[in-house]
Structure 1
């Protein structure tokens, strides 16, 4: 692969980042008269730690990775956007992404004026490794893989991902948003070997913190320093940092939530098999199921009328006729089954 320095945009390489008051001094038990803060209404009158040091220490312990391998952002979308701004020259460079997958990779590319080359998965939603590598050229700086993939739900074969990492000259961005449901499949232990790898994870799924907007990127310290150079000075607010720190003390709660979601997914899978209008339930390593039906839009609209909202994915590549159903609470899942039971009666009348 090319070195990070070779891949970096020249203007980013030359960038002198903004130096905030909390960059120049960090610590506690001090009289802070350096940042033009209001002396009243503590602790919210103070700017947050721009590098989220305490929070990263906790994450480092849980993920078993040094804290200088961690970037925290306003959702994973911030890390995605920074990757474009760090490595992709607008109007010149391109990225490669699988299809179907998480839509923000394409949106962020469009915002940054970067060409996206989409490579369809196989009919079984597996990677076409050779086609993905063939889609790259000397101006391909980023390659996006989401595993477990959204909306298909399946994890990709580790050997396929490794082949891509080892044969692509740019940066591979591996989005592991749903990895807490299959933690043994994470590539975090491989980060020290692969310096061209960025791993995205989130607190929105297994940790139940979608509302606080906290995303993680794991990469070599060199890449993390670049991300910190580009990000806005106080990108993660004090409320988000405090809430995350409090919730990270309850790892057992998260493990129990994951266990219950996986059990409920198994129950849902069995229940969905009972409906004649559902023709296929795809394997899933995430907290949702993708199902193929004979009338995706009709079922979606009917359930909305019943107060149950799922996701119609029938317009997505390779997902014709498909609905994506998130695993909810027992009460929510029962509401889904009630709605599907009523729909079943309408088509069997």
Structure 2
């Protein structure tokens, strides 16, 4: 937020209309001695009246602008950035995101299923500003790519970089859930949860998803399963991150939320079927509401003083005005 610590300084701007009024009454006016010199054998001095008027007006504008900038500097401009500093922990939420090739299908809004998952995560993060977020990507295998953190910049940067096909073809739901549980079980947060976002059935990995879901429940970790997709023929296009080969065509989607709802039930959690942006928004609101934790915090102000910038700008304008008057108007100052 931009503001001023000494706004009373702006009363000095009243001198501008006062000076112009006094000059209009000829009470305050400059003294000029026009002097035309011509060399005995040289060319006589030529006065371009129109050009001089334009330059004189420009000089006056520069001087007036410099005065305004100096008054603004005296008003002590400041860029004030307020920041919440939390003194108690919020929820720890780990998102397990499917990056298998089928997540490139375009049947949720105008983007890929993976795009819908990213949008949901960002919406949850915006609603739970004091929480810590982690990220597990999952396909043929699973890996923690962001441990639970409140560093939104790092988290969103890695989230945006998720790409379909990074971990091969397959859906290791059990492995992804186990990885998330492993990094949450020792957390001291008052609430811990896993948000699984996938469009398929478990067909890879050595851990059964029901086993992983029960393990999460035994550790007091809430489970939310978001099944993203529709049945039928849907367009699909993506570029393989490893080979660069572009796959384009149609996917015969056999999306079935039955197995996903069973996983949620085994983990004593909730299942949401995402087949539109509206259902996505509703599920996100429910997750945000359930994981909200009342936290204590204080407001920290990070002030950035800007007066020096205005002084430098005023000095530049004064220098330009001097150059115009001395070199182009040929006035003796």
TM-score by length of 1: 0.27
**Greater RCO, 1 or 2 (C-alpha within 8 Å, sep 6+):** 2
TM-score by length of 2: 0.28
